[in-house]
Structure 1
Amino acid sequence: MTYKTILAVFSIHHKEQSLRSAAEICASVGAHLSLLIVKLASPPPIGEYAAAVSVDWLDERQRDIVRLETSVEKAKAILDQTGVSFDVATMYTESAWADDEIGERARYCDLTLVGDGLVADPELRSRTLDGALFRSARPVLIVPRGKTATLTPKKVVLAWDSGFEAARAAREAMGILAGADNVQVTMVDPRASYGRNGEEPGADIAAYLARHGVSVAVERLPSEGRSIDEVLNRFAQDASAELMVMGAYGHSRMRERVFGGVTRSMLETASVPVLMVH
């Protein structure tokens, strides 16, 4: 996959270093940075008969728009110094519609970047992830706080479970995998089974990647009572991986929200940048 346009979603409380980091990621692969600064509108007050609209609420919305415009000017001034090709757009929207609107914008980019620019706004981060993963058909790069991401990593971990989402993630990241010096296909407690992992778990995906010129090795890891996300995070750290590639939401979102799941945990606890694909 060649990345020509990267969408980076930020809140109005973005920091200069976060913007520069997004620009550096784009510059490293010669991509255009499409910056989207989003402000979620405050919900209207509900009175006794839900008929009265608060003057304070209207004033607050107007102040939000001014803050949004100010944030755009600051972002442009910073990005002008980086030399990267960029455009800046804004979105002032209701929380309930944000994931649809962000997802629609993401369809016209090759990748959505979710990093430090959303740390100060957990609700917007959640809406951005939902929109980008479920409504764009594009990969999402999640960068944990304090971490530096690259689209030209030398060491990559591919989290593999033989599922549809993992297969799609591997295909979407093929350019990254082929350019790496070392790709470790990582399986946690794999079982040899007909129609899924095969007689030798990991052999099929390793052969597929090798035919694309990927330098690949297979690691079968025992969980030993630990959660899958904990095993993957520990392995990525020990392997000094610069990126993890994985499928997202092999189960329904509702099931993961109620019972937990690897995707949900990795979104919250990833130890290295993660490229996710649903």
Structure 2
Amino acid sequence: MAYKTVLAVTGADLGDGDLKLAIALCEEAGAHLAVLVVGLAAPPPIGEYAAFVSQDWLSERQADMDILQTRAAAVTALLASSGVSSDVSSEYAEEGAADDVIGRRARYCDLLFVGPELLSRGVLKTKTVEGGLFSSGKPLLLAPEGTSPTLKPKRILIAWDSRIEASNAVSHARDLLAAAEDVRIVLVDPLVGEDGQGEEPGADLAAYLARHGVKVTVDRLSSQGRTVDETLRQHAVDTAAELMVMGAYGHSRLRERIFGGVTQSVIDDTPLPILMAR
């Protein structure tokens, strides 16, 4: 799919580093940049002292909203000076509902960008990733510190396990895959057979992608005592991959999100940008 609208989430107290990366992505792709500035609301006071501190709490909330609006104005000025097509919105969200707020906004983009500054923030990072994955149906591009995100990667690694989440991630990345010079389908300890990944693991996906003009090879790896995420990370380094495409695994129950082990580990520690979808 073509990325015509990129959404970047930032916090009221974050800098401009993530936004500058998002601007560069949109310039590269000729895309519109939507920015959502999020402030997390302080929880209301509870217990026997609630009545005495409620005015302080209201004052704190008002101060937070003032900071949020100041930040939104600064972001608007930054984007205006960049020349990219853009819009800015802001939300002062209760912490428990912030993921749904972000997810609803992300439904109107093609890609949700999560930069290194946001990835360093525990609560807002979690709410952004969960909101994007569970509430929008759109892919995320995660760009950790020290990486160079691009929408025109030459070397792409697909973390493949034949599950629907991985298939959806590949579908979202198909235009990137077709434009790349080297695409590697990587399977770690694949299971052969009808109940596993077929008689020749990775072959079906390779044939599918080849029909879309993708230059693809299949790498079947043995973990050799390492974890799956460690094996994937090392292979990404060994092949000089610029992007990893993978499915995100987990479950949603009310507001509790539980990620699968590989998904969480890769999010927390990756040497390259990741395009992730459910």
> Do the structures match in fold with TM over 0.5?
yes
**CA offsets 1:168-225 (integer angstroms, 9 cap, x no match):** 1111110010000000000000121114411111111111111110000000111111
Aligned match of 2:184 = 184
CA contact (8 A) 2:21 2:115 kept: no
- After superposition, residues 46-195 of structure 1 pair within 5 angstroms as 46-48=46-48, 50-195=50-195
Equivalent-residue separation in structure 2 for 1:194 and 1:121 (angstroms): 43
Residue 59 of structure 1 aligns to a residue in which SS?
helix
1:235–1:253 distance in 2 versus 1, CA, 3 Å:
farther
Equivalent-residue separation in structure 2 for 1:176 and 1:149 (angstroms): 13
The amino acid that maps onto 2:104 is: E
Equivalent-residue separation in structure 2 for 1:194 and 1:16 (angstroms): 50
1:257–1:105 distance in 2 versus 1, CA, 3 Å:
closer
Equivalent-residue separation in structure 1 for 2:167 and 2:258 (angstroms): 23
**CA offsets 1:19-59 (integer angstroms, 9 cap, x no match):** 11110011111110000000000101113275555222111
TM-score (norm 1): 0.94
* Runs of at least 5 residues in structure 2 that lack an aligned partner in the other structure: none
* Runs of at least 5 residues in structure 1 that lack an aligned partner in the other structure: none
Residue 192 of structure 1 aligns to a residue in which SS?
coil
Q: Percent identity?
A: 49
Residue 82 of structure 2 aligns to a residue in which SS?
coil
**CA offsets 1:255-277 (integer angstroms, 9 cap, x no match):** 9949x511111111111100001
Aligned residues: 276
CA contact (8 A) 1:13 1:120 kept: no
User: 1:228, CA displacement in angstroms?
Assistant: 0.7
CA contact (8 A) 1:11 1:121 kept: no
User: 1:130, CA displacement in angstroms?
Assistant: 0.7
Equivalent-residue separation in structure 1 for 2:84 and 2:271 (angstroms): 28
TM-score (norm 2): 0.94
Aligned match of 1:5 = 5
Aligned match of 1:270 = 270
